[in-house]
Structure 1
Amino acid sequence: MTRDALTIFGQRIRALRKAQGLTQAQLAESLGYEPMTISRFERGEYGPGFDAMHDLAQALGVPLVSLLQSESKEPLSAAELRHQLCDIVYDTTDPKVLMEMIKSVRKIGGL
């Protein structure tokens, strides 16, 4: 990977990890890595091989291709936002959490 690609990759890993509420240590543990390895990925010091990228994507719950995309500066469309919301809902298995989601959506939407 080029230096720019490593930087983008590292920024994506960091953003996705934080969005999941994970520390570097927690992500590293889930993958069987040392926390320093995740830190080096995030800083763009070096990039993982394909297998490691695949494992990172799975651990972060995203498609592999999303690790290589920089954050878009353009706002997401309503359709894209609905897809993201649906993905979150379908990944949630706790009925109590789902009920809280419904309550929140109804409150925001005035339903």
Structure 2
Amino acid sequence: MSFIVDMEKDDLLIRLGLRIRELRKVKNITQEQLAHAIGKDQQSIQRLEAGKINPSFFYLQEIAKGLGVSIHQIMENF
């Protein structure tokens, strides 16, 4: 059961990362530019977009602000 839950979490994190990447590309912003805008390093954005980290609510707020979108827009279609 735990394995299935972990797979679902991994899938959600990958989907979240892909959504953030999609929004970033629509805005024509590089990972480095987004990172600089929110005071993070490019590797942090890379890990987020790859679904390797589970971002906090505050990190998502920073990402949304850096992209000029709402958290709701990031979470659409989940």
Where on the TM-score scale, by shorter chain, does this alignment land: which range?
0.7 to 0.9
* Equivalent residue for 1:23, pick from 23, 30, 36: 30
What code does the residue aligned with 1:4 have?
D
Change (3 A) 1:35 1:67: same
> 1:50 matched to which residue of 2?
57
Q: Extract unaligned runs of 5+ from structure 2.
A: 1-7
Task: Determine which structure has greater relative contact order: mean sequence separation of CA pairs < 8 Å that are 6+ residues apart, divided by chain length.
Answer: 2
Which digits, 9 at most, give the CA deviation of each residue in 1:24-51, with x for residues without a partner? 0000000100100000000000121011
CA drift of 1:66 comes to: 2.0
* Equivalent residue for 1:68, pick from 66, 71, 75: 75
What code does the residue aligned with 1:62 have?
V
What code does the residue aligned with 1:36 have?
Q
What code does the residue aligned with 2:45 have?
I
> How many aligned residue pairs are there?
71
CA RMSD of aligned residues (A): 1.7
Structure label with greater radius of gyration? 1
Give TM-score, length-normalised by structure 1: 0.59
Runs of 4+ in 1 over 4 A off after TM superposition: none
Q: Tell me the distance in 2 between the aligned counterparts of 1:46 and 1:69.
A: 19
Residue aligned with 2:54, SS: coil
